[in-house]
Every structure is written in structure tokens, then in C-alpha cells.
């Protein structure tokens, strides 16, 4: 989330700036108890698990199942009684490159990998049909909302292929709307924008299997097809060689023995990787950090753990936040009311990192309307880092990681992020070091996301901030929720609707 070799001493070095102690001045400092060496031990384990199990730790595959067993064994050694929560899942296999061809008005065969790709959970099939553009009129700006509404498909000819632009809503929504309209296939092309590689095909994933081929292509190719599609002369061939297999996957949940059970602090990270690599930064880094914190949290003692801390390792995040949605959806309204807040850590060791903090107070003006209390969580991280002489920056708080299911239910949330495929600016490079004009994580969702793909300095700093927040909120959640949760739990009515899934990338 790439680089030069780093000496062992440098890997384990800690900042020399003065570190603020936790609010519990009379007790141990969790940020000092948890070291980058502790985190590295778990990352080395995740790497070895991946190396011996197909090169990944994707949900539904052996590398993930063994990662679950590793986390459970480490928690038991630390005195926890972890629970493994099973939920249904689809394992996706791409069996071949498929095909993407323009049949009319001209004949063009596009190249797999560079000009098109197959979506995760695409259906298997070979379709040749006329193409209908979906809500591609007018100036849509950098994103647009093509295919996001059922009304976008008004009058859609049954059996046609839908041409859709990436943007605004999750891919699963676009494909579901196309399915309901009677489409025989979907092509999604890349959107424009400073943070988007326009020369790369928009190939991501869905939350569940589609009934037909779903391919992604570049902005250049997709936009060049629009005129012919509008004229009714465009015919495409889409071929997807895929297999979707039903198989359960898992969350791991572990509570501290101490702390009130009606004011729970949920500390979470997703444990799964994508299929293409071991996911040591995404998200071994977050999973390893909270595992190291869990192993040391008991040293705080009963006086400093007034609120129960619930550590959670989510499955199938990469398939659409499925594990965290399943967990939140499995709770009754009364049980959800007992959750004081959620802290989420998704990528903490990006090699070209920025110390990003989720924008809980919506200071970026994105209009996401975070639940009350989320701004206090953001301020907790920002203030801690500032006291260490470390600058931070807000990042979009738009539900694209496992905090999403919590904020949808009005539960305050926050967390840290070191950057993914976005490009580091010159101003950021001046503050944080690293290379301007390069991705925060050049190995994002790639096979090179290994132990070599970690900034140990950045991981150390963000793990300290995560440990500090855990200790602070374990003792008091007053600035977040006033700690007035008992009455709310008793008065909670019927369960609110739970959104069943979607795609992480928009």
C-alpha cells in the first residue's frame, strides 16, 4: 500500500520524538508495549502461510483458512476465547482470458490484461449482441452515475449488452440493474480523474456471481464505443471463462474479559487478501497490528479497561465487505446498540505512505454525513500524531472499508490508512518523504505485496496510534457517545435494514 533494502536495525527503529502517554497516566502505555517487532512477527507468519498455499490468503482458499487458524491460536495463547463466525461465500476462479471483440461496425479484437479484463464473480459465457449505452448522455464529470439507478435502464432492449461507465455506486448495483433489465452482458469502462489510471481497464469485482459475462475496459476504449452504441450499430462479443463455487468463509471475534458489555469498542481489520498476492500490506498490516495490540491489551488491567474491547478480523472484505456486513447484520438492534464505536485499520504499512485519518468530521466537504462521534475519533488520532510531531491528513470516509456497515447503522467509526493506488503529491512527499508522482502502494492488489512492500517506519507510527486509541476508548468513550449506551440498548426497536453487500471499489 517498494523499494530499497532496509537494514535490520532500521526496520525495528522507533521514533525518537517524545511520545505522549495514554490517558491512563497511572497505568501502562499500550503504544509503548506494542512494538513493530511484534507486528512483524505476525506479518512473517502471513507471508509464510501464503508462500505454502498458492501465493495468496484470499477468502475461501487454504491461505485464508490457515490465516484464521493462526489468528485463533495466537489469541488463545494471549488468554482470549475467540469465536469463529462462518458465513456463506462464493469462490471465484478465472479459467482463461476470455475475449472482448468489436464485431460491428468494424472488427477489433482487444488484448487481455492491458485493454480488458474479467470481473471477479463474472458469470461464465460467450455472448455476441448489440450494445446499448446506459445513462451516458451529457457531461457527467469525472465519475458520473451510469447504471446506478434502475431508471437508467428504462427501455433497455432485452438481450443487449450494457455499456456502463465506472463511478458513484458499487459495481454490484450496476450489474444487478443490468440483470433486472434483461441484459446479456456488461462492459464497464474506466472513469476519468486525477486519481484514476485512465490507460488501465476498469477491472474490479462484484459481491456475488453475475448470470452473464462482465468485462472491464479502459476509458479510451469504452468512450470510443459510445457513439456507435448510441447509433445502434455497435455489436460486441464478450467471453468470460469463469467458475463460481459456494463455500463458507469466516470472521474471527475476540472480546477482552474486562470491561462493560453494554459499551463495546470494536477494533477491526480485514484478514483476507486478493487472489493475486499474499496481501502483506493489504491487509496483513492492519490484521497484524490489531493482533499485536490484542496480545498486550490485558496488561492495561481492569482499571484501564472500563469498556469491553472486541477485536475482529473480517473475512471477504475484498469481495465487498461481506464479513463485516454479515457480522453487523447478525446482531439484533439491542446488540448493535451496545457497540460504542468501531476502529478500522485497512493498510498501515504502504511503502510510499501518508498518515491518513478517516474524515470523521467531514471537513473535506464530501457530504458523507458521518455518525455523530466520528469526528471525535478522528481528532483522537490527529492529536496523538501531532503530539509526536507527526503530521496527518484526512482521507475520504465513504464506506469503502469495513467500517461501512457500522456507520450505516449510525455507529461512530474512524481509523487509519496509509494509502493504496492513489498518487502521492509533491506536497505530501515534502511532509512524509517518499516519491511524488508514484502510488502510495505500487503493489496494491498485486503479487508483489510481500514483506518487501512495507514501510516499517510508517507501520510503527500508525500501529502506535492504533494502540493509543484502543487504550483511550477502552477507558472512556465519553467524547464519542457520552457513554450513555444502556438506555439506548433498552429502548432499541426493530432491527434496521442491513445492506447485504456491494463492492469496495467505486
Residue 300: C-alpha distances to residues 17, 73, 259, 275, 470 (Å): 23, 22, 11, 38, 11
Residue 491: C-alpha distances to residues 35, 264, 338, 486 (Å): 42, 17, 11, 9
Cβ atoms of 295 and 78 within 8 Å: the answer is yes
Sign of the dihedral through C-alpha 474, 478, 481, 484? positive
Residue 161: C-alpha distances to residues 176, 182, 462 (Å): 13, 9, 46
Place of cell 533494502: 5
Rounded Cα distance, 333 and 494, in Å: 6
Helix (H) or strand (E) holding 186: strand 185-189
Rounded Cα distance, 41 and 44, in Å: 5
> Which grid coordinates are listed for 240?
468470460
Place of cell 475461501: 60
Cis status, amide bond into 37, omega within 30 of 0: no
Whether 421 sits among the annotated catalytic residues: the reply is: no
Q: Among residues 208, 317, 421, 428, which one is catalytic?
A: 317
Residue 258: C-alpha distances to residues 300, 306, 486 (Å): 10, 7, 17
Rounded Cα distance, 498 and 485, in Å: 21
Per-residue three-class SS string for 113-128: CCCEEECECCCCEEEE
Which of 412, 407, 399, 359 lies closest to 382, judged by CA?
Answer: 359
Contacts of 430 (CB under 8 A, 6+ apart): none
> Which grid coordinates are listed for 211?
448470470
Q: What is the DSSP letter of 455?
A: -
Burial class (CB within 10 angstroms; exposed 0-12, middle 13-18, buried 19+) of 74 = buried
Cis status, amide bond into 283, omega within 30 of 0: yes
Rounded Cα distance, 90 and 159, in Å: 26
Rounded Cα distance, 119 and 185, in Å: 12
Per-residue three-class SS string for 131-151: EEECCCCCCCCCCCCCCCCHH
Which of 149, 124, 120 lies closest to 134, judged by CA?
Answer: 149
Q: Give catalytic residues, as residue numbers.
A: 317
Amino acid at each position: 500500500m517498494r523499494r530499497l533494502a532496509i537494514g535490520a536495525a532500521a526496520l525495528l527503529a522507533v521514533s525518537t520524538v517524545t511520545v505522549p502517554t495514554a490517558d491512563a497516566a497511572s497505568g501502562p502505555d499500550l503504544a509503548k508495549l506494542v512494538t513493530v517487532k511484534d507486528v512483524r512477527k505476525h506479518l512473517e507468519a502471513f507471508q509464510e502461510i501464503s508462500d505454502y498455499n498458492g501465493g495468496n490468503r484470499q477468502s475461501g482458499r487454504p491461505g485464508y483458512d490457515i490465516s484464521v487458524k493462526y489468528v485463533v491460536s495466537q489469541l488463545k495463547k494471549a488468554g482470549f476465547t475467540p469465536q469463529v463466525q462462518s458465513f456463506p461465500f462464493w469462490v471465484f476462479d478465472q479459467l482463461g482470458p476470455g475475449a472482448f471483440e468489436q464485431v460491428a461496425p468494424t472488427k477489433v479484437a482487444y488484448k487481455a490484461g492491458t485493454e480488458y479484463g474479467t470481473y471477479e464473480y463474472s458469470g461464465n459465457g460467450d455472448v455476441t449482441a448489440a450494445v446499448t449505452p446506459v445513462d451516458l448522455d451529457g457531461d457527467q464529470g469525472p465519475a458520473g452515475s451510469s447504471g446506478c439507478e434502475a431508471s437508467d435502464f428504462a427501455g433497455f432492449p432485452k438481450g443487449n449488452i450494457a455499456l456502463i461507465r465506472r463511478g458513484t455506486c458499487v459495481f454490484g448495483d450496476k450489474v444487478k440493474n443490468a440483470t433486472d433489465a434483461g441484459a446479456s452482458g456488461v462492459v464497464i469502462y474506466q472513469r476519468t480523474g486525477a486519481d484514476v489510471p485512465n490507460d488501465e481497464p476498469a477491472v474490479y469485482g462484484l459481491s456475488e456471481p453475475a448470470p452473464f459475462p462482465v468485462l472491464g475496459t479502459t476509458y479510451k476504449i469504452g468512450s470510443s464505443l459510445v457513439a456507435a452504441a448510441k447509433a445502434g450499430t455497435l455489436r460486441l462479443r464478450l467471453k468470460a471463462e469463469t467458475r463460481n463455487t459456494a463455500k463458507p468463509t469466516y470472521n474471527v471475534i475476540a472480546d477482552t474479559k474486562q470491561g462493560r458489555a453494554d459499551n463495546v469498542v470494536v477494533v477491526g481489520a480485514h484478514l483476507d487478501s486478493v487472489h493475486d498476492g499474499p496481501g502483506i500490506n493489504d491487509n496483513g498490516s492492519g490484521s497484524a497490528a490489531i493482533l499485536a495490540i490484542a496480545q498486550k491489551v490485558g496488561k492495561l488491567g481492569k482499571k484501564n479497561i472500563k469498556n469491553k474491547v472486541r477485536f475482529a478480523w473480517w473475512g471477504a472484505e475484498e469481495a465487498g465487505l461481506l464479513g463485516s456486513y454479515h457480522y453487523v447484520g447478525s446482531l439484533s438492534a439491542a446488540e448493535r446498540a451496545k457497540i460504542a464505536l468501531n476502529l478500522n485499520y485497512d493498510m498501515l504499512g504502504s511503502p510510499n505512505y501518508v498518515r491518513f485519518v478517516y474524515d470523521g468530521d467531514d471537513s473535506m466537504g464530501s457530504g458523507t454525513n458521518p455518525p455523530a462521534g466520528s469526528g471525535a475519533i478522528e481528532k483522537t488520532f490527529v492529536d496523538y500524531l501531532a503530539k509526536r510531531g507527526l503530521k496527518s491528513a484526512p482521507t475520504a470516509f465513504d464506506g469503502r472499508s469495513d467500517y461501512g456497515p457500522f456507520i450505516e447503522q449510525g455507529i461512530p467509526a474512524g481509523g487509519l490508512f496509509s494509502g493504496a493506488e492513489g498518487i502521492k503529491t509533491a506536497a505530501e512527499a515534502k511532509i512524509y518523504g517518499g516519491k511524488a508522482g508514484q502510488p502510495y502502494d505500487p503493489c496494491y492488489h498485486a503479487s508483489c505485496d510481500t514483506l518487501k512492500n512495507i514501510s516499517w517506519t510508517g507501520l510503527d507510527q500508525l500501529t502506535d496510534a492504533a494502540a493509543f486509541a484502543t487504550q483511550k476508548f477502552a477507558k472512556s468513550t465519553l467524547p464519542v457517545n457520552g457513554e450513555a449506551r444502556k438506555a439506548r440498548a433498552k429502548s432499541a426497536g426493530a432491527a434496521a435494514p442491513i445492506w447485504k453487500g456491494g463492492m469496495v471499489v467505486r
